[in-house]
Structure 1
Amino acid sequence: MTDNQSTPYEILPFTMDAGVMSRAAIGLVVLATDQTMEYEWRKIIDIPGVAFFEARMPSPASITPETLAAMEKDIGGAVETILPGVELKVVAFGCTSGAIVIGEDKVFEGIRKVRPGVACTSPITAAKQGFEKLGVKRIALLTPYVSSLNHLFKDHIDAAGLQITRISTFNHADDSEVARIDAASLKNAILDVGRHDDVEAVFVSCTSLRMCELTSEVEQLLGKPVVSSNSAMAWHALRLAGVNDPQPQWGKLFEL
């Protein structure tokens, strides 16, 4: 047995630096059912001095307008758990369809009740900013959603001054299974819906779809920009945080 009275014990001095977030700290709200977003963000936001910190919030396994609307009450509680007392430059809300059903302004209001004045984004907010920067207006929409959600998407995006010219869907409401839609299915769907003359860019909507490692390849094959939920929101969060590093490996949007 060690004699604590005779064991040398020294309190050491130390200095501190800015830690892993010397350039920016970004907060990320992730749905409880999401299997993809954190994986893709870890790849994209692999920039020295930039860190993101996530919190999960309750979400339904079956995605419908009614179940998405019910998530509004949990937004503030999730944000409250992200590094209390530490300044976040941006908070991102990780649900494309939820931001449309609840409303972007209401989502950001819920965030700012906890983080007053913080810059906010969501996948749909980011996608619209991305299309503006890319200079495209005629968009093909590719989703896993059921019809009722796809029509809400079209109305929302059209109201922003863009035009949804075509809609293609996997028509699947189970978020856990959407995360397992494979690269071949996504690639074929993007090339098919994007090949038409009335399409200037393709929006692949849903944070559960695994797109970040596929985007650059599909853009080269298609010859048009391809914007996806997770990548767009990562790009927009970085730009809002003042991080403008080009990352062309993630697609045309990251060259801006």
Structure 2
Amino acid sequence: MTLIEHLPFDTDEGIASRARIGLMVLATDFTIEHEWRAIMAGLDGVALYESRILNDAQITPETLRAMEPRIAAATDVILPGSPLDVVAYGCTSASMAIGEEQVFARIREVRPHARCTTPITAAFAAFRALKARRIGVLTPYRADVNRIVAEYIAARGFEVPVFGSFNEQDDGIVARITPASIKRGVETILSHAAVDAVFVSCTSVRLAEAARGIEAETGVPITSSNHAMAWHALRLAGVDDVMPQWGRLFEAQIA
């Protein structure tokens, strides 16, 4: 056998020449990775790196807040020692139960230079980009979590004239709610009040691939936890591509 060592080679920027995006996925989440990969599939030079964070499948205020001490460690295992442009924390209700700034503080313990987002942070950025003040909200959550969501959004200066819920607290069941059921839920929301946009909360909910079609039928902009946060993460990373196939939001820049 001839052994040839130290062969010459060249290097380039690798697969992340435009952006490195880190995503914390809930241990129980079936959906967010699928939707984010679909959205980012056509973007050359944009790379997505993920970790999983331990959570309880039962969504309650207590189980949501219990994740806070785990956020830094879940961030730290995403490309250790390598820079990330953006770190996204993939839980909508926990971002509100814990508080966005607390989530960002835990991320910055290990990634002090990364831009940060959460689903609700991204939703607020989306509302501003869409010039939406009156927001219809659809969630899968039980009543006590819904109160946190409604109060959190209203406290940031947005009106919530109509709020609908499937009232299901098991993440595994939420991930199996059909897109047709989500569409019916959105239509019910729109039948009860005039709104500027609809927000579908929860990273387990499947909405991204249906967003453009629902907008075409209803005439109302729509976004979701995964949909908004993918858009926001891209924009924070400096990726400003217009992607109308994913709905009105992906034609917008951060306001």
Please state which band the TM-score falls in when normalised by the shorter chain: over 0.9
Structure-2 residue corresponding to 1:35: 30
Whether contact under 8 Å (1:92, 1:121) holds in the other structure is yes
1:198 Cα deviation from its structure 2 partner? 2.7
1:196 Cα deviation from its structure 2 partner? 4.1
Letter of the 1:37 partner, please give it: I
Structure-2 residue corresponding to 1:16: 11
> Residues 1-256 of structure 1: matches in 2 within 5 Å?
7-11=1-5, 12-46=7-41, 47-256=43-252
> C-alpha separation between the residues in 2 aligned to 1:34 and 1:197?
31
SS of alignment partner, residue 180 of structure 1: coil
Residue 143 and residue 197 in structure 1: after superposition, are their counterparts in 2 closer, same or farther (change >3 A)? closer
1:28 Cα deviation from its structure 2 partner? 0.3
> C-alpha separation between the residues in 1 aligned to 2:213 and 2:126?
19
1:159 Cα deviation from its structure 2 partner? 1.1
SS of alignment partner, residue 39 of structure 1: helix
> C-alpha separation between the residues in 1 aligned to 2:81 and 2:195?
46
1:85 Cα deviation from its structure 2 partner? 1.5
Whether contact under 8 Å (1:33, 1:175) holds in the other structure is yes
> C-alpha separation between the residues in 2 aligned to 1:183 and 1:237?
24
C-alpha RMSD of matched pairs (Å): 0.8
Per-residue deviation, residues 187-245 of structure 1 (Å, max 9, x unmatched): 11111212444312110000000111110000111100001000100000000000000
Unpaired stretches in structure 1, ≥5 consecutive residues: 1-6
Unpaired stretches in structure 2, ≥5 consecutive residues: none
TM-score, scaled to structure 1: 0.96
Runs of 4+, deviation exceeding 6 Å: none
Whether contact under 8 Å (2:162, 2:193) holds in the other structure is no
Whether contact under 8 Å (2:32, 2:226) holds in the other structure is yes
> C-alpha separation between the residues in 2 aligned to 1:176 and 1:102?
22
> C-alpha separation between the residues in 1 aligned to 2:152 and 2:111?
26
Letter of the 2:183 partner, please give it: K
Whether contact under 8 Å (1:95, 1:206) holds in the other structure is yes
> C-alpha separation between the residues in 2 aligned to 1:162 and 1:195?
20
SS of alignment partner, residue 209 of structure 2: coil
Whether contact under 8 Å (1:158, 1:164) holds in the other structure is yes
SS of alignment partner, residue 185 of structure 1: helix
> C-alpha separation between the residues in 2 aligned to 1:140 and 1:55?
31
1:151 Cα deviation from its structure 2 partner? 1.1
> C-alpha separation between the residues in 2 aligned to 1:88 and 1:182?
34
Letter of the 1:40 partner, please give it: E
Letter of the 1:203 partner, please give it: F
Task: Report how many residues are paired.
Answer: 250
> C-alpha separation between the residues in 1 aligned to 2:250 and 2:230?
10
> C-alpha separation between the residues in 2 aligned to 1:170 and 1:243?
34
SS of alignment partner, residue 233 of structure 1: helix
Per-residue deviation, residues 55-77 of structure 1 (Å, max 9, x unmatched): 00100010000000001010001
TM-score, scaled to structure 2: 0.96
